[in-house]
Structure 1
Amino acid sequence: MTSLPDDPTRLIREDDRDTAVQRLQEAYAEGHISHEELDERLHRSLTARTHGELVSALASLPEQKAATTSTIAAASGRIQRRGVWRVPRILKVESAFGSVHLDLSRAVIEHPVVDIELQLGTGKAKITVPRDAVVDTEDLHTGWKALLYKTRSHPRPGGPRIRISGTMGFGRLKIRHARR
């Protein structure tokens, strides 16, 4: 979270706070901060209102490294990732029945290219990508319903390339760019 180029006056959401608490607990467990420092930083994180206050509570923590490949799987129910989370280089999503919602608009994307491999049976899927992302769906196979995605007419340079591949069974995939 300390590496996010975000507006420090932006109000935080609960998932931002949860991510900060998790980072602090991991730093304590790995011996990077003392028990007293953990208590003080947790208090600052739990009472923070803006992104800048939250970032200051995480200052000097070692950077987290995203895993190269990660798999999210569920037989049924909902798979959801949103808020501030680290996107691995390859993200595999598997769901037989249920819905999938991946929001990458506020995620930490450390790789210039991210591959999202979908293996979905029934149900809907929605992926929100950053404003400046370039999306490639060439290797995506849809079965029942067509993909809903409107490519950007003038993509901004420097954004990540999101390659979406895999198989959609009877569901529909909707991809949209974040508004901000």
Structure 2
Amino acid sequence: MTSLSEGPRRALGEDDRDTAVQRVQGAYAEGHLSYEEMDERLHHVLTATTHGELAAVLSSLPAEPADSTATIGAVGGRITRRGVWRVPRVLKVASALGRVRLDLSRAVIEHRVVDIELELGTGRARITVPRDAVVDLDGLRAGWKDTRYKPRRAADPGGPTIRITGAMGLGRLKVRHAWRR
């Protein structure tokens, strides 16, 4: 995401607006804003059309924490994350050979949008997402086999968006929604 100081005249995207809403709500939750101030700022965030307008609304808020990024890598073998674990804003997964299994169904997801960047040579990858998640696979390139994913018929509002990007070599990615919450 482009920082707010870059390109103040550039049109806002939905992710930019969602991030700004989270910052205003977070500042209210931490006691930096009264309810009335939060309500007014949310109105300005939702009606802003440029990054400059958005920056003006957010300028007096406490500094935004840096996006968290984590990298998991292996030359061979398995990469597994399951159970209760904290999902960073950006998760980079690199594996030359072997299997990758990421289970986000019981993970702590603090971000509205999570980017998973895959760089896989051979082997399979399976990602289990929360039941209410929206999955975006537009940025993923599959080399040999197609990705297997069946979207939920009706996504619950308020779930995280999981964007999966990167490249798969000779393996296959299978994405599924968890059965339970």
Q: Aligned partners of 2:84, 2:153: CA distance in 1, in Å? A: 27
Q: Aligned partners of 2:75, 2:149: CA distance in 1, in Å? A: 26
Give the Å deviation of 1:67. Answer: 6.7
- Superposed CA RMSD in Å reads 1.4
The corresponding residue for 1:109 is: 109
The corresponding residue for 1:6 is: none
The corresponding residue for 2:139 is: 139
Per-residue CA shift, 1:40-82, capped at 9, x if unaligned?
A: xxxxxxxxxxxxxxxxxxxxxxxxx997000000000000000
Aligned to 1:146, the other structure's residue is in SS state coil
Give the Å deviation of 1:152. Answer: 1.2
The corresponding residue for 2:175 is: 175
Q: Aligned partners of 1:109, 1:116: CA distance in 2, in Å? A: 13
Aligned to 1:151, the other structure's residue is in SS state coil
> What TM-score does the superposition give when structure 2 sets the normalisation length?
0.63
The corresponding residue for 2:19 is: none
| Equivalent position amino acid for 1:114 in 2 | V
Q: Aligned partners of 1:131, 1:153: CA distance in 2, in Å? A: 11
Runs of at least 4 residues off by over 6 Å = none
The corresponding residue for 1:95 is: 95
Are 2:93 and 1:119 aligned?
no
Q: Aligned partners of 1:103, 1:115: CA distance in 2, in Å? A: 14
Give the Å deviation of 1:151. Answer: 0.9
Give the Å deviation of 1:177. Answer: 0.1
Q: Aligned partners of 1:128, 1:159: CA distance in 2, in Å? A: 14
Give the Å deviation of 1:93. Answer: 0.0
Per-residue CA shift, 1:83-111, capped at 9, x if unaligned?
A: 00000000000000000000000000000
| Equivalent position amino acid for 2:162 in 1 | I
Q: Aligned partners of 1:67, 1:106: CA distance in 2, in Å? A: 21
Q: Aligned partners of 1:128, 1:151: CA distance in 2, in Å? A: 12
> What TM-score does the superposition give when structure 1 sets the normalisation length?
0.63
Q: Aligned partners of 1:168, 1:79: CA distance in 2, in Å? A: 15
The corresponding residue for 1:85 is: 85
Aligned pairs (5 A) from 1:67-82:
68-82=68-82
Q: Aligned partners of 2:110, 2:72: CA distance in 1, in Å? A: 19
Q: Relative to structure 2, which stretch is displaced further, 66-75 or 99-108? A: 66-75
Percent of aligned pairs with the same residue?
A: 69
